Structure 1
Amino acid sequence: MKTYVIGASGFLGSHLSTWFDTKGIVRKAPSYRDADPQGWQEDVLADLKDFSPDLVLVPGASQAMGDDAKALHALVASNCVLPCLVAQHLLEHLPASQLVVFGTSWQFADSSRYRPFNLYAASKQAGQDLLTHYALRGLKILQLIMFDTYGEDDVRRKLLRILQDACARDEEIGTTPGDQEIDLVHIDDVCAGVEAAIQDLRQADPSEGLVVRGLGSGKPITVKALIARVGASAGKPLRAKIGERSYRPREVMQVYRDYARPSGWSPQRTEFHDESDPGTPGDTVTP
């Protein structure tokens, strides 16, 4: 299988590139150019046509979190325009190829229905809606709802890494009251989930629209419980001043659960979850 990865330099993209390199040939798209985004898009499409892949993964995307004009343009360009350009290109030149894009659980903030937490999440949903047009024209497209990912080589300043570093340095850290949930999934489990979801995609009928699958553990953990687990894993308590910080405006307290998992997939390496949780509907829903 020939796989083309757009956004291979990020945490998710680099691991997906390594994972699918064991399944066949992987080619990474040219690195993004801030100074010339339109020229970069043209180069990607030309490179895509030259490589003629069976599968296209688009894990790279703008991480802009603001509401200003710069963030708006960046989010729409990466989460809406680029996937649509790729989809149209595949329909014209490689109609048998499959396209995989990545959404976020933040599209469903404290809700089982669409309720975006921020502009980033709204742009992910907008991209999904736009891609439905291309799916109905015959292209097989998969959207994966992503939760919090982690791994041993993860250097991003995400909550888990911040807590682990503070514990390792024996530093005191102020936190929120910690009743909000977080669903952490090991990057190896994510890669296996992507592969399993692609199997679902191969059996899908594009006339039904996009295939949407969620890659959550199904057993989210509260931040308070995560703090205790980090300390237990390190063999010493994490010096957390719980409740020192206020929740963010519109803090997401409960993670999204109303999703279908890829057939036959469940996390195997994920360790930071609620062991008392028997599981969610997402554990049992199949295509």
Structure 2
Amino acid sequence: MRKIILTGATGYIGRKLLYRLLERGHSVSVVVREKSPRLSSLPADTEKIFYDGTFNSLLDGMKDKESGLVIHVASLFLTQHKPEDIGNLIDSNIKFPCYLLEAMHTCGLTEIINTGTSWQHYENSDYNPVNLYAASKQAFVDMLKFYQEAHHFKALTLELFDTFGPDDERKKLFHFLQDAAETGKTLKISPGQQLLDIVYIDDVLNAYEIAIKQSGKLTGTFTVASGQLHNLQEIVAIYSKISQKKLNIEFSALPYRLREVMKPWECHRNLPNWTCEFSLEEGIKKILCQGMKSH
């Protein structure tokens, strides 16, 4: 079992990962903001390192975490940004994780599992950011490279594709499909020809577990991709069929976004020893089953 410092525990993937790690018997400390509205979603007895925007707040909380493994999941995700978003993007996706790296170095920690995004690879490029969010994620990878070379950090980055699962509060596709199914409201979306590779949350958590076991031995960047491609129209049809509800979907009511990803990145290598266990259909069934239980 490992001592783990986890960021992003108040977000969807980070929260699910926290519970998985605790189930496995790991000792987990979470880095959170004291005023985060989602603190109540964490187990009350979870050790918390409160980040107040300063380096010293991280350093104070990490001083006694010798031999700990850092898992960095936190990020600010924006599909499109406004000028007023730039400061928050830089603070969340570059400044904060750089403070994290420096605190690790000061405390003698060298192992980190970082989380990236397939959106760093628009049009199948080695690097071509879809948006400023993806650019900020790559900027941090470049910062991390310095610590790898100068301070011998052992870093493994998992680049995630789209993810989904039960209890997902994120304003993403399945949130809107569920709302349309329950309310009968018309959902206006794009023409729907873009292909998506969507990975069920349990498969994502399995990837982190494998990465933990390989931490310190396996370094580099790897992906967590199902290889199962469906366009948006197909996903809507599958959801409607499994839920047995007719959805009022108005395709082409909205244009494609700037730099819409029409086909996911193909020139990648998945994390060794990881395979996708859940199909899209199986994941949707689990979401719907969980929804029925909550009602």
Q: Is the 8 A contact 1:87 1:139 kept in 2?
A: no
Out of 95, 107, 111, which is 2:124 matched to? Answer: 111
Q: Is the 8 A contact 1:168 1:234 kept in 2?
A: no
**Deviation sequence 1:160-188 (CA, Å, 0-9, x none):** 22112212333332221111012211111
Out of 229, 243, 252, which is 2:252 matched to? Answer: 243
Matched, 1:178 2:180: no
**Deviation sequence 1:43-81 (CA, Å, 0-9, x none):** 222111233352111211223455555422222222222
Deviates more, 1:67-76 or 1:118-127: 67-76
How far apart are 1:156 and its partner, in Å? 1.4
Alpha carbon RMSD of aligned pairs, Å?
2.3
Match of 1:130 in 2: 143
How far apart are 1:191 and its partner, in Å? 0.8
Percent identical across equivalent pairs? 29
Q: How is 1:1-287 mapped onto 2 (pairs within 5 angstroms)?
A: 1-21=2-22, 22-31=24-33, 39-52=53-66, 54-64=68-78, 67-95=81-109, 97-136=110-149, 137-204=151-218, 211-272=220-281
TM-score under structure 1 normalisation?
Answer: 0.84
* Unaligned 5+ runs, structure 2: 37-49, 283-295
Q: Is the 8 A contact 1:214 1:262 kept in 2?
A: yes
Q: 1:32 to 1:42 in 2, by over 3 A?
A: farther
Q: Is the 8 A contact 1:178 1:243 kept in 2?
A: yes
Within 2, Cα distance between the matches of 1:66 and 1:32? Answer: 27
Within 2, Cα distance between the matches of 1:46 and 1:234? Answer: 49
How far apart are 1:241 and its partner, in Å? 2.1
TM-score under structure 2 normalisation?
Answer: 0.82
Secondary structure of the corresponding residue to residue 123 of structure 1: helix
Equivalent pairs counted in the alignment come to: 266
Aligned AA for 1:245?
L
Secondary structure of the corresponding residue to residue 199 of structure 2: strand
Q: 1:177 to 1:142 in 2, by over 3 A?
A: same
**Deviation sequence 1:117-150 (CA, Å, 0-9, x none):** 1111101011101111111231111221111111
Q: 1:163 to 1:39 in 2, by over 3 A?
A: closer
Within 2, Cα distance between the matches of 1:13 and 1:260? Answer: 23
Aligned AA for 1:124?
K
* Unaligned 5+ runs, structure 1: 205-209, 274-287
Moved over 3 A (4+): 36-41, 64-70, 198-201
